Amino acid sequence: MTRHGRTWGMSGETPVIKASMLRGGYNVLSVVTSEGEMNYSIKDGTVNGKRYIGFLGELIAGRKRPLIVLADHATFHHSKQVRDYVRAHRSQLRVFFLPKRAPEYNPDEQVWNEVKNNRIGKQPVKNKEDLKTRLTSALDSLKQNTQRITSFFHLPDTQYAEGVA
What CATH number did the domain enclosing 100 receive?
Answer: 3.30.420.10
pLDDT of residue 165: 55
**Position 36 in a domain:** yes
Segment (H or E) for 142: helix 128-144
pLDDT of residue 10: 85
**Position 8 in a domain:** no
- Containing domain of residue 41, as a range? 27-161
**Position 102 in a domain:** yes
pLDDT of residue 45: 86
Instruction: Judge if pTM exceeds 0.85.
Output: no
Q: Which residues pair with 27 in a beta bridge?
A: 43
**Position 7 in a domain:** no
Segment (H or E) for 89: none
**Position 14 in a domain:** no
pLDDT of residue 23: 66
Alpha-carbon separation of residue 44 from 55, 68, 95, 132 (angstroms): 14, 26, 25, 10
Per-residue pLDDT in tens (0 to 9) along the chain, 165 residues: 455 566 778 888 887 776 666 667 899 999 999 999 999 999 998 999 999 999 999 999 988 889 999 999 999 999 999 999 999 999 999 999 999 999 999 999 999 999 999 888 878 888 889 999 999 999 999 999 999 999 999 999 999 988 765
Q: What is the DSSP string of 11-39?
A: TTS-------------EEEEEE-TTS-EE
**Position 22 in a domain:** no
**Position 69 in a domain:** yes
pLDDT of residue 124: 81
**Position 45 in a domain:** yes
Count the domains in the chain: 1
Helices and strands per DSSP (H, E), number in the chain: 5, 4
Whether 109 contacts 118, CB under 8 Å:
no
